[in-house]
Amino acid sequence: MTTTSTPWHTQPIDDVVEQLGTDIKHGLSETTAAERLQQVGPNALQEQPRPTFWQRLLAQFQSFVIYILIFAAVLSGLLGDWVEAAAIAAIVALNATMGVIQEGRAEEALAVLRKLTSPDALVIRGGHQHVIPASQLVPGDVVILEAGNHIPADVRLIEAMNLKVDEASMTGESVPVDKRAAMIVSEDSVLGDRRNMAYMSTTATYGRGKAVVVNTGMKTEIGKIADMIQSTETEITPLQRRLDELGRTLSIGSLAICLLVGVVIFVREMTGGDFEFADALTDSIMTAVALAIAAVPEGLPAVVTINLAIGMREMIRRNALIRRLPAVETLGSASTICSDKTGTLTQNEMTAVRLFVTNKRFDVSGEGFSPVGSFSQNGVDVEIAANPEAGRLLLAALLASDAQLEMNRDGRDEGQSGYQMIGDPTEGAMVVAAAKAGLWRESSEQEYPRVNEIPFDSARKRMSTIHKGNNGNGTQFVVFTKGAPEILLEHCDSVLENGVVVPLDDMKRQEILAANTQMAHQALRVLAVAQRELDTLPEEVTPDTVENHLTLLGLIAMIDPARPEVKSAIAKARHAGIRTVMVTGDYPDTARAIAEQIGLLRENGRVMQGSELERISGSELAAIIDEVDVFARVSPEHKVRIVEAFRARDYVVAMTGDGVNDAPALKRASIGVAMGITGTDVSKETADMVLTDDNYVSIVSAVEQGRVIYANIRKFVYFLLSCNLAEIAVIFLATLAGAPSPLTPIQLLWLNLLTDGAPALALGVEKGDPDIMDRPPRPTKEPIIDRNMRLGLVLQTIAKTTATLLAFMIGRHLDPTSWDLARTMAFVTLSMSELLRGYTSRSELNSVFKIGVFSNSFMQYAVFTSSALLMLVVYVPFLQEIFDTVPLQVEHWLYAVPLLLTPAVVDELTKLYLRMKQEKAAPVAA
C-alpha cells in the first residue's frame, strides 16, 4: 500500500485502487487486512480517557454526607476521642472502597453495551462478503453500501447506483447528496461537493454502492474534529430523577429532625449538670451527625445505577440490547407490542416452494439455503430447461436480486447446509431457487451484466435492474422488475406465454390475481417478476421511464414458517395484559394465516389493510384500534399512524422496525425496537432497544425483565426507607422521652453501612416474582411509593421502633447500673430485624416461603456476612470498646429473638392482607 499527498477525490478509481493495493472484485485478503490493522490501528475515534482508579476514589469523597463524616472524625480527634475518630475514618474508607468497586462494575457493564452498539460493515475480503465490526476496517477494504447503513469509514466510491448520502452531520446540508463514482473533483472543492466520496458518520439514505476505504479512525474527516465529539453521554432516567427528588425531600426533613435531636441532647446534658460544655457539644454533634448519616438515603442513586447495569446485562443474555436507560423502566409498563411478521414472528428462512407461470404450477423441493432440490408438476419431476417460461422467471428473479449465495468457508459439500446467504432473505429464496435450476449469479451476470438499477422502495414496493442482453435481435437492454403482484400487474400490459409475448387481458389478469390470493391463503409470500426489453436506455433512468409496459413472467411463492416458540410467548404476553399486534407489508391473507397459526388473531379480531388506513382519520383509527389484531400491506408511514392511535388511547406501545423509513415510527413509539440482524444502522440508532436475534420472544423476555428491574428498584427503596425511618424514630422518640440515645453514633454508622447496604444490593439481583407476568402492566404515572408501600412503611417503622425501644428498656431493666447492655440489645435487635427484613422484602406481595427463603444466594452472602460482623462487634473485646457493646448471654437472646423477629412477621402479615385485598378486588376489576 502506497499513498500520496494527492487528495483521494481528485484521483480516478483505478489510481486509488492501485495505490491502496486492493482489488475491486475480491478486496483484500484476510492476511493483508490483519497486517494493516496492526499498522494503522482500529477504525474508531479515540474516546475521552476514562477516570483512573485514584480519580474514582477521590470522587467518592465529594459528597455532602462524606463531608459530614470527615468533619465528625476531625472533631472527635481534636477533642481527644481517637477511637471514635479512627472508627469513623475506617468507615469512610470502607464506604469509598465499596463505591469504587461498584462504579467499576457499572463501567464494565456499560463498556459491554458500547461494544455491542458499535456499527458493522459489509466488506469483501478474499472474494467473499462478510459482516464485520466497522472497527476492523482498514484502508484498501472494499465495502458494500446500502440504504439505511452508516458509512463505516472515509471511502472513495467505486460504484454508485442511485446512491444518496445524508451528510448533514458533516456539512449541515439537510438534503441527501447524490453520489457519482466516476466523477473527478477539483482539489480545492469543499467536502459537500465531493460527490465521489462518502464519509464516516454519514448515512446512506437511498440506493446502493461499492467503495474502497481510504481513511480510518482518527484520520477520517470526523476524526479530525473528534475532540469536539463526546463519545458517551450520561443518561439520567426519569426514575433516577424521581428518586433523586425523593432523596432530597427526605434528606431535608431528616436533617431537620437530626438538628432538633442534637439541640435537645445538648440542652439536656448542659442543664443536667453531668457534662462539661465541650463534652455536651461533642456528644450532641456526634449523635446528630450519625443520625443524619443513617437518615439520608444517599445510597439510592448508586443502587439504582448498579441495578440498571445488572438488569441491562441480563437483557443482553436474553438477546435484547437496551440503548437508552429510560427504556428499562418503560418496558415494565408496556401494554402493546406491534411486531413485524417476517423474521420476528417467523423464522426468516424464506424458501421458494412454488412457481406460477401462465397457468402452470411448479412445486419446488428443498430447504433453507442449500441449492439442492427439484421442480415438479402434479408430483412428477420436470426439467426447467424444458419450460422456458419458468427458466426465464428464475433468471429474472436472480438478476433482479442483490443476495449472494456462497459456500461456507469450512468447505462442506452441497446438500449438507454448507451454504450461507448474505442479503435479504426473500431475495435469497429466489437466488436459491434459481441455483436449483442451474442458474448462478456469476455466469448469469456475465451474460447479462448489470448496468443500472432502481433500488427497492417501500412506497413503490418493487425493484428493477437493467442489464445488457442479446435475444438474437442484436445487443439491447432488458429491465427485470420484481415486486408485489397486485402493484406490479398495474404496470404490465403483456405476459410471456409458451415462449411468446401476448397481451395481458382482464381474464389472464384475474387468473393471476386468483392464483396469488390462493397462495397467500396458504401463508405463502408471493412476488411477481416481469421484464421489459429496450433498444436504448432513457436519458434518465427512473421508475416512470423504465417500469412501465412490462411483460409479466410469473409468480414465485415462498414460505417463512412461524417460529415455534412464538405461540407460547404471545399467550404469555396476553396473560400479562399485553396485546400483540402484527404490522406487516405482506398480503392480508398471508398475514391472517400466520396470525391464526401463532394464536395472535383473536376470535373477533380484525385484519386491516393499509388502503383502509388511508381512508380513515386518526381519531377514527384510535376508536377502533382495540379491534384490530393485524395490519397488512402497510407502509412505514402507516406505522406512525398506528403508534399515534395506540398512544391516543394511553397504551404504552413497543414498535418493531428494521428499515430507514421505520425510524419515525420507532422514535414515536414508547419503546422503539430495531432488528439487530436485518435492521439498518438508522433504525438501530433511532431505537431504544435492539433485538440481537430479531425474535419476538426476546421482546416478551425484555418486558418481563423490565418488570423485574423496576420491581427490584421498588423493593430496595422500600427496604432502605423502612430502615432509615426506624432509625430516626428510635433516636427521636427516646430523645423526646428524656432518655439517653439507644444507639451510639458509631452504631448508627455501622447500621447504615453494612446492615442496610448489603441486603439492599442483594435485592437488586432478585430474579423476580414467579407471577410477575400474571399481573397487568404498571400504570406509567404510578408513583414509586404507592399506597401499599406507604402502608408498609408506617407498619415497619412502628414495628422496628417498638421492638428496638422495648429491647433497650429490657436491657436497662436487666442491668440498671449501665447503659451498655441496653444499647447492645437495641443495637442487635434493630440490626438483626433489618437483616431478616431483607428476606421478606424480596417480594411485595408473595410470602417469602413461596418464592423460596434461600433462592437468592446473594441475600445469603449479605445476611451471613453482616451477621458475622455484628457478632464480632458484640463479642470481640477490643471492638466492644469501640462500639460500646457488651457480650449478650442466653438470657438476653431469649428476650431479643422474639423482638427482632417481629418486623419480619409484621411484613408477612401485611403482604397477606394485601393479597386478600387484591383477590377480593379481582372479580370487580374483571
Q: Across the strands, what pairs with 361?
A: 356
Residues with Cβ within 8 Å of 440's Cβ and at least 6 positions away in sequence, in order, are 434
Is the separation of the CB atoms in 370 and 420 below 8 Å?
A: no
294: nearest Cα among 627, 756, 712: 756
CA separation for the pair 906, 796 (Å, rounded): 7
Cell of 885: 457493646
Nearest in space to 576 (alpha carbons), one of 717, 708, 475? 708
Q: Which residue has the cell 500500500?
A: 1
Strand partners, 142: 124, 212
What CA–CA distance (Å, rounded) separates 664 from 678?
18
CB-based contact 592:607 (threshold 8 Å)? yes
Judged by DSSP in three states, 202 sits in: coil
3-state SS, 644-706, equals HHHHHCCCCEEEEECCHHHHHHHHHCCEEEEECCCCCHHHHHHCCEEECCCCHHHHHHHHHHH
Largest CA distance in the chain: 121
Quick one: which H or E segment has residue 544? helix 543-546
> Which of 340, 560, 694, 769 is labelled catalytic?
340
CB-CB contact of 673 with 691 (8 Å): yes
Q: Which of 759, 901, 881 is nearest to 824 (CA)?
A: 881
Q: Which residues contact 599 (CB under 8 A, 6 or more apart)?
A: 567, 570, 571
Question: What's 501's DSSP letter?
Answer: E
Q: Which of 307, 240, 309, 295 is closest to 756 using CA atoms?
A: 295
Q: Closest Cα to residue 545, out of 461, 466, 456, 457?
A: 466
| Distance between CA atoms of residues 721 and 663, nearest Å | 42
Question: H or E stretch including 924?
Answer: helix 890-925
> Could you tell me which residues are beta bridge partners of residue 375?
364, 382
Q: How far apart are CA 728 and CA 743, in angstroms?
A: 11
Half-sphere exposure of 619 (CA within 13 A, CB side): 0
Instruction: List beta partners, residue 653.
Output: 336
With CA atoms as reference, report the closest residue to 156 among 1, 14, 32, 4.
Answer: 14
Give the Cβ contact number of residue 671 at 10 Å. Answer: 28
Which whole-number Å values give the CA distances from 505 to 490, 494, 502, in the listed order?
12, 8, 9
List of residues 6+ apart from 839 with CB closer than 8 A: 848, 853, 859, 863, 904
658 annotated active-site: no
Kindly state the cell numbers that stand for 555.
Answer: 409468480
Q: Determine the Cα–Cα distance for residues 276 and 418; give it in Å rounded to an integer.
A: 90
Query: Which residue from 486, 487, 452 is spatially nearest to 468, judged by alpha carbons?
Result: 452
Which stretches of 260-403 are assigned E, i.e. beta strand? 320-322, 336-339, 351-357, 360-364, 375-377, 380-382
Instruction: Determine how β-strand 628-632 pairs with β-strand 320-322.
Output: unpaired
**Grid cell in block for residue 327:** 427504556
Helix, strand or coil for residue 779? coil
Amino acid at 326: P
Give, in degrees to the nearest 5, the angle at Cα 83 between 81 and 85: 70
**What residues are annotated to the active site?**
340
